[in-house]
Amino acid sequence: MTMSAAAQHSPDPAIEKTPLERYVAPATPSLIGLARGELADRLGEVGVPERQRAMRVRQLWHWLYVRGARDFAEMSSVSKDLRDALARQFTLARPEVVAEQVSADGTRKWLLRLPAEIAGERAHEVECVYIPDSDRATLCLSSQVGCTLNCTFCHTGTQRLVRNLTAGEIVGQVMLARDRLADWPRQGGPPEVPDPRAGRLVTNVVMMGMGEPLYNFAAVRDALLIISDNEGLALSRRRITLSTSGVAPLIPRAGAEIGVMLAVSLHAVTDALRDTLVPLNRKYPIHVLLDACRNYPGLSNSRRITFEYVMLKGINDSLADARALVRLLKGIPAKINLIPFNPWPGTIYECADWEQIEKFSEYVFNAGYSSPVRTPRGRDILAACGQLKSETEKLSARERLALRAMAMTE
């Protein structure tokens, strides 16, 4: 590679930061988040003969992901010797919950502590949010501690990227949510669970917490494959949405290797504006991003891409923007998700006026797009997806009151 080519390929720190740390597995690692093949290897390590491994993997998978076992002792169909051998070398640990907040509207937010690379360093924290609704209940998962990207309206974007989450830490968020919600088949119930999906409290998953999921591709893929595995957690791929800020070259791989629903954080209709709101646009401009969307595997009128559009007062909320948005998305099976901007201390942006959001939404709706305005949820606990791990302690009393008042009037 010539010098100039190398220079061209080195990341622009204004667009992408480099992770500071790698994950270092604890001495006794958790089995959560391992693919079936990896689980078989671990069984080999504790002496299970090869011919028995497939059967043992099936049993473990059932205990882990259908039953939600938290202790090897619960695994009554596994021999005591094997349970003891597993318990000596592994755990069934989920990420550690350090705080739980419950909003007046039923939204729950869990603050999770993840180990740091250097022992003794302050542990890392990410959040996971549960948002119950009338027809569904959505769990919003984080994929990274912080984010490598610097979207100017996003609180996560102001934080440095500390490290990527592992597949186990991503699947672990679903496990601990179901633990906390008592969302596993009843203990002591019949040995067979007829339909693991029936009556579940977590019905949908969105990768819309902290981080850019496509910049942690392998772990996010492995985790989502486990979450959608029919013999385990069994969430349909249509009920899982991966949100990206627009990593265009990885969109085809996301479709081919994960196959979940796609959401794209568009937020602007011109490159000039998107360059400032979502700086990754300088690398993958709007036409490149939309081309990748047009070719998203499996795209159809019944499997549309959701375009997210955060409503920023005086920045992207005019009716001219709405018209341009409709023109831009022509020909792509799409839904448009208008998100009221969720302010955070220190931001230069304001949320568009409610009236303006309604006018914008009406225009888009009349042009034939479903355009739900994402109702802010859990504002009293600052739980909106995309604005996780807000430093509530930094809010003044007046700001807290204002947020609470907003939550009450919505």
* Under rule CB under 6 A, residue 125 binds ligand SAH: no
Nearer to ligand SAH, 78 or 208 (CB): 208
Q: Find the shortest distance in angstroms from Cβ 213 to ligand SF4.
A: 9
Contacts of 168 (CB under 8 A, 6+ apart): 29, 30, 32, 33, 34, 223
DSSP 129: E
- Dist. CA 17–CA 325, nearest whole Å: 30
* Residue 338 DSSP one-character state: E
Task: Please say which residue, 57 or 338, places its beta carbon nearer to ligand SAH.
Answer: 338
Q: Are the C-beta atoms of 260 and 241 separated by less than 8 Å?
A: yes
Given candidates 30, 150, 245, 316, which one binds ligand SAH under the rule CB under 6 A? 245
CA atoms within 13 A on the CB side of 279: 17
Q: Is 16 in the site for ligand SF4 (CB under 6 A)?
A: no
The region of 108-116, 131-139, 287-295, 382-390 touching ligand SAH under the rule CB under 6 A is: 382-390
Please give the backbone phi and psi of residue 113, each rounded to the nearest 5 degrees, phi first.
-105, 130
Task: Give residue for tokens 């490598």.
Answer: 148
DSSP class of residue 373 equals B
Q: Within 10 A of 345 (CB to CB), how many other CB atoms are there? A: 12
Q: What pairing do the DSSP bridges indicate for beta strands 163-164 and 204-207? A: unpaired
223 binds, among ligand SAH, ligand SF4, none (CB under 5 to 8 A by kind): none
Q: Binding ligand SAH by CB under 6 A: which of 16, 105, 169, 212?
A: 212
Q: Which of 127, 212, 308, 317 binds ligand SF4 (CB under 6 A)?
A: 212
Task: Report in angstroms how near the CB of residue 15 gets to ligand SF4 at its nearest.
Answer: 11
Binding piece for ligand SF4, criterion CB under 6 A, among 30-38, 144-152, 294-302, 329-337: 144-152
Q: How many CB atoms lie within 10 A of CB 176?
A: 21
Between CA 296 and CA 303 the distance in angstroms is: 10
3-state DSSP assignment of residue 140 = strand
Task: Find the binding residues for ligand SAH in span 248-287 (CB under 6 A).
Answer: 265
CA-to-CA dists, residue 320 to 75, 190, 269, 325, angstroms: 61, 60, 10, 9
Site for ligand SAH in 136-155 (CB under 6 A): 151, 153-155
Q: Where are the alpha helices (DSSP H) in 262-345?
A: 271-277, 286-294, 319-328
| SS3 assignment, position 126 | strand
Q: How far is the CB of 296 from ligand SF4 (least distance, A)?
A: 19
**Residue of 228, 245, 316, 371 interacting with ligand SF4 (CB under 6 A):** 245
Q: Are 248 and 282 in contact (CB under 8 A)?
A: no
Whichever of 310 and 326 has its CB closer to ligand SAH, that residue is 310
Q: Select 164 or 387, whichever has its Cβ closest to ligand SAH.
A: 387
List the single partner that 208 binds among ligand SF4, ligand SAH, none, CB under 5 to 8 Å by kind.
ligand SAH
CA R_g for the chain? 22
Decide: 280 and 15 in contact? Cβ < 8 Å.
yes
The least distance separating ligand SF4 from the CB of residue 277, rounded to whole angstroms, comes to 9
Just list the catalytic residues.
127, 385
Contact call for residue 241 and ligand SAH (CB under 6 A): no
Q: Which stretch binds ligand SF4 (CB under 6 A): 19-27, 145-153, 328-336, 362-370?
A: 145-153
Residue 88 exposed, middle or buried by CB count within 10 Å (0-12, 13-18, 19+): exposed
Interface with ligand SAH includes 308 (CB under 6 A)?
yes
Among 164, 204, 244, 371, interactor with ligand SAH by CB under 6 A = 244
317 interface partner picked from ligand SAH, ligand SF4, none, CB below 5 to 8 A per type? none
Report d(CA 112, CA 97) in Å as an integer: 5
Binding mask 146-175 for ligand SF4 (x = CB under 6 A): -x-x-x--x-xx------------------
* DSSP-assigned letter for residue 160: P
Q: Mask of contacts with ligand SF4, 259-278, x by CB under 6 A?
A: ------x-------------
| Binding residues for ligand SF4 (CB under 6 A) | 147, 149, 151, 154, 156-157, 211-212, 245, 265
| Binding residues for ligand SAH (CB under 6 A) | 151, 153-155, 208, 212, 243-245, 265, 308, 310, 339, 341-342, 344, 385-387
